[in-house]
Amino acid sequence: MRCLRMLVRILVLLYLAGAPALAQTLCQPNASNGYRVRISIKTALGNQAYEWNENEMFLFRATMAFAMRRYYKTETYNVDNIIVCNQTRRVSFWFVVISPENPTMLIPKADVEKAVSMSRHRINNAFLLTDRTLEFLGIYPTLAEPVNPDTPPWLIVFGVVIGAVFAGIIALLVSSLLQKRRKEKGMMEDGQDEEDRQMKGVENGINLDGIYNRGFTDDDRFTKL
């Protein structure tokens, strides 16, 4: 009996010691079900960049667990289910997701991709980063839907300008029409006065109407003495 209990204790100890080792073998660079993550904090935040340390890594694993929970709509995923390895100074690392029911089974790549895409915005915001500075190599961000307004904005500006131009044309027509009518009325009413003025004009030697005859002015300019 005592032998059996010791055996069980040894097995448990071995299991506890070996589990992380087992987990580590599951996570490897270029693993078939793993993804590489690249983070560029200084590019994104400049002077306000934070240091990447173990706590940030913990946040990453928690966020990934949150993404898996959201995708599968369960509450079984935990920080331990996200395994990270091969961290570099660049701040890039590989991660894999193990199933909570079976620690030796990895969640397939496609499901991880769908989970990440679904919660990408939340993951980015947890780290104050963007799609470009928090890269999941292999998962392409879906671009924003282009905003298609009902009337293209240029047409609106065009409408305003051509409306102004037509207003100008109408103003021109109306003013020339009014001028013509005023002239006709003027000519009918004081036609007599016009004739008198014309006579006077000729007498003074200056032609008010018609062509200004330059032949009789500025003779001095051409005078050579």
- Footprint on this chain of another protein (rule: CB under 8 A): 38, 40-43, 88-92, 140, 142-146, 153-158, 161-162, 165, 168-169, 172, 210-211, 213-215, 218-219, 221-225
Nearer to another protein, 52 or 66 (CB): 52
The tokens describing 202, both together, are 């000729």
In the numeric block, which tokens belong to residue 161? 């300008």
Q: Which segments of 103-190 does DSSP mark as H helices, in order?
A: 109-118, 120-126, 153-189
> Which of 85/91 has CB closer to another protein?
91
Q: How far apart are CA 127 and CA 200, in angstroms?
A: 95
In this complex, which beta carbon is closest to another protein, that of residue 59 or of residue 170? 170
User: Which of 5/214 has CB closer to another protein?
Assistant: 214
Q: Is 206 helix (H, G, I), strand (E, B) or coil?
A: coil
Tracing tokens 């913990």 back to the chain, one arrives at 58
Residue 23 CB, shortest distance to another protein, in Å, is: 23
What is the closest distance, in whole angstroms, from the C-beta atom of residue 137 to another protein in the complex?
Answer: 9
Counting Cα atoms < 13 Å in the Cβ hemisphere of 130 gives: 6
Least distance between another protein and beta carbon 183 (Å): 14
> CB-wise, 18 or 29, nearer to another protein?
29
Give min distance, CB of 215 to another protein, in A.
Answer: 5
Q: Are 73 and 121 in contact (CB under 8 A)?
A: no
Alpha carbons 23 and 96: distance in angstroms, whole number: 9
